[in-house]
Structure 1
């Protein structure tokens, strides 16, 4: 009988027999799975489980909270709810229905993943327990060199022909939907087909119905997950008829945004649809490495130029966020992957956009004396925009490349225009970062501060924003704000010190160039 799998090395992952993600959303529910899975025979007493998760609550409230956690696990398991077993005074997992996977698979930077790496439960008993288990697993967990190889299934979108109450409405809907789904395929490695029989595994079915009057154009978009039949999205878009032709790209962007968000939601429970845009554009090591494993699993089966580009993007982020022990080696991998992407997709805007980002990372004054990387970043970004002016990564890369050739006003204007686009909702932190850095480099510290604070609001785990915020606040005599930013940064970078920030290798060249590193002599932490 096919069994579920509980993986505990790296993030806690409960996977169904067909690859579907059965993880509960709550951290304490995943913590309960980790505790049960690590216990002898996958069975633990209720009192022990309650003490580890709710030691700060009185017994009555702790027991009620534990019941809620167990209910959440059963709901996530769905039709496999009987996998979670209970008896007099104990809770367990049925070994006949579930296989425990404690294999540690090396990450892309050669690191052994941590046991239950996604768990951060603020309970002293749990913190002591997980520290001991992590130490034990680090010494005893079997290690393999890579993640499992690809299977026959991959992310698929089934685009049903657009329907309309009249032929004209149907034609307009088809134009919008074709551009929207084509844009999704430019940003993520998904296959877009027109027939459900062409999908090898799970799929998202996208349907649309359009109508029009003298004044309005209505487009209803519905996205359904198959085989579950779950309706993931259903929305009516309404625009004025006079705007439809002029704003066709904007309408397509709104539909594209909806599809990408649905894919992120589907990734939480269906492993076949596990391409998560939010993971790829995150700033947390576990999420970035998880995205890389997923992309590696897809390989070159779907749009290899996009897969290779996104894997290069991930390495660039790992480097700039100081999440790799070998930044130069990781960045070299990014450059190699982006070169392969350009070879695979000589007309792919995403490939050239990511190549521009990689060159921008290399375009720092102390290593780019002849401005070779700066010029190449601009050349690649210009090519990306030429290939596809609507591609959001192309526009973002173009803004950054303008900063690298010191055209700061134009860089800020480009990023500001991009921020007004619907596509900016996919990763607003990146757009605010570009405006903030360009403003900082042209000496507009008030505007820089405003946008860098927006970065922190959208992405609290973004380290560069905290570096710049701490320095700018200190420069503007906000010592309390500077100290707060430093303390947040210290939590994300345990090895952070002001001495390290002052060192030439620390990635704050914009601050160094603007003589804004006075904070390193402040003694605030």
Structure 2
């Protein structure tokens, strides 16, 4: 019997030998395949499938519609129609014929695919099922490991300029951009020279002065293929050159980071994704920690250890590890080693501050954060750490200003949720609850898996008598935090210090869930 493959990570796809497409065109038919394929032994009760796909129709109409969906699947299978099997009250796929593939393969932009990404069935029962299935898939599926390869090499080419002074300005900008990248991504930076055939990302610029303005075209291309990844034209005001150069370097840094994320899955794959490092998703954080653990410390020992400490601290904050005490101790050791390897690294100092803050070492946390901001005031990890340290010591207005200053830069695009979270916490401590709630809602837009923002939303909405909104936040929290209860939220060890100090834990006695 021919073998078929059902893929559920990304669009629902059913293929036969030679990658022959057997996927039905109908949305509900593909939805049925997703439900059946993810069920135990790939079998599901017909009544359950009918409720998921046609809950808004009367039973007779729903039953007839389900028969039509199953017929569509059988027709799409063609000569392999025996793969769709049924029995008393159930329907399924023959596991001897159909192989389920749940491998998560990153796309060209480096992002991991979503479970059943092409499904949009307007049925409330199916929408609830799909949301839970996607969440389970993110936590349970191990993404396919990247092919082993070299770290990407970033080369800075000599700028082409109309005069020597403009060439120097362009060189300074490119050098600062490359340096800022190397303070965030464990990678290799080299002169404009590689071994024959070696893969590299080349940063180049053409610059020309016209009166009081400098026009500069910056490109990121691949060598040896000459593929253009990114280009941008900058116009710098020579009258305020210092600020213009700093802004330009930061924007180029963001461009390089975007290219690196994409290049991970195309050529010379990065060992770690920054979007994973700064996420709140359990599977992605685990993937980032494993990638950093496996990296060669010789590339950038300080940054590798600092990012590992950041990931582990996030896992502790998000209650994603079975032994928080052991994890935070390991994070503290890594952060210390990161500072020993590079005492001047703003990222290493900032991560150390965050770890010490969790351990209630307020003055140490503040000192490290201050040092980090002094080393690099545009480093968003440093600004975040400083804001957090100020909050821990009760300086809420200053904490708010630091978070605002961090968000005003370009680099927080890598992790906007964290600084929005700092703003929300500072506003809550200041009693500005309406503004705080808006910040926590923004956090959810960037990071739906973020648990602390859901706790704040539930508490703040209940405080202003929005029980429906509080219930929605609690239900979302229960989905992303298995075992969550209101009694747990009220307990002394649960991480809601700001809510407890503000007398905002009334929701824990609401009985909403």
- The question of whether the paired residues in 2 share the 8 Å contact of 1:220 and 1:237 is answered with yes
- Supply the distance in 1 between the matched residues of 2:219 and 2:76 (Cα, whole angstroms): 37
Offset of residue 197 of structure 1: 1.1
Aligned to 1:260: 257
- 2:108 matches 1:120: no
Aligned to 2:438: 450
- Supply the distance in 1 between the matched residues of 2:411 and 2:397 (Cα, whole angstroms): 22
- 2:419 matches 1:419: no
Residue 332 of structure 1: which of 329, 333, 344 is its match? Answer: 329
Question: Secondary structure in 1 aligned to 2:230?
Answer: strand
- 2:10 matches 1:28: yes
Offset of residue 241 of structure 1: 2.7
Aligned to 1:409: 397
Residue 231 of structure 1: which of 218, 228, 232 is its match? Answer: 228
Q: 1:277 to 1:517 in 2, by over 3 A?
A: same
Offset of residue 484 of structure 1: 1.2
Question: Secondary structure in 2 aligned to 1:237?
Answer: strand
Question: Secondary structure in 1 aligned to 2:303?
Answer: helix
- 2:302 matches 1:305: yes
Q: How does 1:161-240 map to 2 (within 5 A)?
A: 161-197=158-194, 201-240=198-237
Structure 1 length-normalised TM: 0.73
- Supply the distance in 2 between the matched residues of 1:335 and 1:62 (Cα, whole angstroms): 55
- Supply the distance in 1 between the matched residues of 2:385 and 2:481 (Cα, whole angstroms): 27
- Supply the distance in 2 between the matched residues of 1:158 and 1:92 (Cα, whole angstroms): 44
- 2:289 matches 1:292: yes
Residue 473 of structure 2: which of 475, 485, 493 is its match? Answer: 485
Aligned to 1:392: 380
- Supply the distance in 2 between the matched residues of 1:410 and 1:516 (Cα, whole angstroms): 23
CA RMSD of aligned residues (A): 3.9
- The question of whether the paired residues in 1 share the 8 Å contact of 2:378 and 2:409 is answered with no
Question: Secondary structure in 1 aligned to 2:468?
Answer: helix
Q: How does 1:471-482 map to 2 (within 5 A)?
A: 471-482=459-470
Residue 460 of structure 1: which of 448, 458, 462 is its match? Answer: 448
Aligned to 2:33: 52
Aligned to 1:501: 489
- Supply the distance in 1 between the matched residues of 2:315 and 2:480 (Cα, whole angstroms): 13
Paired positions, count: 432
Offset of residue 173 of structure 1: 1.0
Q: Deviations over 1:413-456 (max 9, x none)?
A: 11111111112222111111111111111222122112111111
Question: Secondary structure in 1 aligned to 2:453?
Answer: helix
Larger radius of gyration: 2
Question: Secondary structure in 2 aligned to 1:197?
Answer: coil
List gaps (5 residues or longer) in structure 2: 37-52, 54-67, 78-96, 104-111
Q: How does 1:504-515 map to 2 (within 5 A)?
A: 504-515=492-503
Q: Which moved more, 1:451-460 or 1:178-187?
A: 451-460
Residue 369 of structure 2: which of 363, 368, 381 is its match? Answer: 381
- The question of whether the paired residues in 2 share the 8 Å contact of 1:43 and 1:91 is answered with no
Question: Secondary structure in 2 aligned to 1:254?
Answer: helix
- The question of whether the paired residues in 1 share the 8 Å contact of 2:149 and 2:268 is answered with no
Offset of residue 240 of structure 1: 2.7
Residue 341 of structure 1: which of 323, 338, 343 is its match? Answer: 338
- The question of whether the paired residues in 2 share the 8 Å contact of 1:470 and 1:481 is answered with yes
Q: 1:268 to 1:471 in 2, by over 3 A?
A: farther
Question: Secondary structure in 1 aligned to 2:294?
Answer: helix
Offset of residue 61 of structure 1: 8.0
Q: 1:512 to 1:58 in 2, by over 3 A?
A: same
- Supply the distance in 1 between the matched residues of 2:319 and 2:418 (Cα, whole angstroms): 17
Offset of residue 284 of structure 1: 0.3
Offset of residue 201 of structure 1: 4.9
Aligned to 2:418: 430
Q: 1:184 to 1:484 in 2, by over 3 A?
A: same
Q: 1:424 to 1:63 in 2, by over 3 A?
A: farther
Q: Deviations over 1:214-270 (max 9, x none)?
A: 132222111123455432111212233323223322221111111111111222434
Q: 1:482 to 1:227 in 2, by over 3 A?
A: farther
Q: Deviations over 1:166-218 (max 9, x none)?
A: 22221111111111110000011111112341599533221111122113222
